[in-house]
Amino acid sequence: MISQPQKIVICEDHQIVIDGLRSIILNFSGFEVVDSVNSFSSLIPSLKKHHPDILLLDLNLPRKNGIEILQELRAMSNPVKVLILTMYNKKTIVSKTVSEGANGFLLKNCSFEDLHNALQHVSENDLFYYGEGVIKSKKEHALGDDEFYKRIQLTPREKEIIKYLCEGQKVPDIALSMHISPLTVETHKKNIYRKLGVDTSVKLVRFVHENQLL
């Protein structure tokens, strides 16, 4: 069906894993491992030389990690299909690789069928491939009222300090009446300003009133 086998480059720092993958893929028709490298520095020349269709990329690599390599490749607009192969099964990591432009995510303890499916899937399909057992990341929250509401959530301590600040009290006085150090108050104040996106006490008071924060 496919005349030309899909060229695969493996980027992985454990030789035993490379050997294992090679021996398994040898049995897959239509796929051929053309090269294996163990770091970013040797990956780039290999990509230039072989122009592979698929890159099997480990996340945990010396010096530059897999996600950084993925970012580099996409920044260079390299079209190679990237299939992440890792031990990490974390929602955050999965969603990170999705957003950075990977094409699939496989766990290292995947079965040979899963590997085959993954290779088949990424070579034909643009949809992200989730390997067996991979935790699917939820869709990102849309930025909107919800996000804004989250942003201006105040902790009890911050509320207390804002109350004093809105009364026009100065940091040393607040520290005295709250029995905490002036630096603590100052830090909270700085955090509140950053959180609410204000930079003066006048703006703070206005913001608090407009949004009825207290």
Residues binding other proteins (CB under 8 A): 13-14, 16-17, 20-21, 23-24, 27, 59-60, 65-67, 87-93, 96, 107-113, 115, 133, 150-151, 153, 155-157, 179-181, 183-184, 187-188, 190-191, 194-195
- What is the C-alpha separation between 79 and 73, in angstroms, rounded? 8
Q: Of 109 and 125, which has the nearer Cβ to other proteins?
A: 109
Residue 200 CB, nearest distance to other proteins (Å)? 16
What is the C-alpha to C-alpha distance for residues 186 and 188, in angstroms, rounded to an integer? 5
Identify which of residues 49 and 177 has a Cβ nearer to other proteins in the complex: 177
Cβ at position 90, least distance to other proteins in Å: 5
Quickly tell me which residue has 């996340």 as its tokens: 59
- CA–CA gap between residue 166 and residue 154 (Å, rounded): 15
Contact 84, 97 (CB under 8 A): yes
CB of 118 to other proteins, least distance (A): 12
By beta-carbon proximity to other proteins, the closer residue of 45 and 133 is 133
Minimum CB distance to other proteins smaller for 112 or for 206: 112
Nearer to other proteins among residue 35 and residue 114 (C-beta): 114
Distance CA 6, CA 31 (A): 5
Q: What do you get for the CA distance between the two ends of the chain, in Å?
A: 68
* Shortest Å distance, C-beta 12 to other proteins: 8
Least distance to other proteins from the beta carbon of 65, Å? Answer: 5
3-state secondary structure 121-135: HHHHCCCCEECCCCC
Assigned token pair, 113: 């069928």
Question: What's the full length of the chain, in residues?
Answer: 214
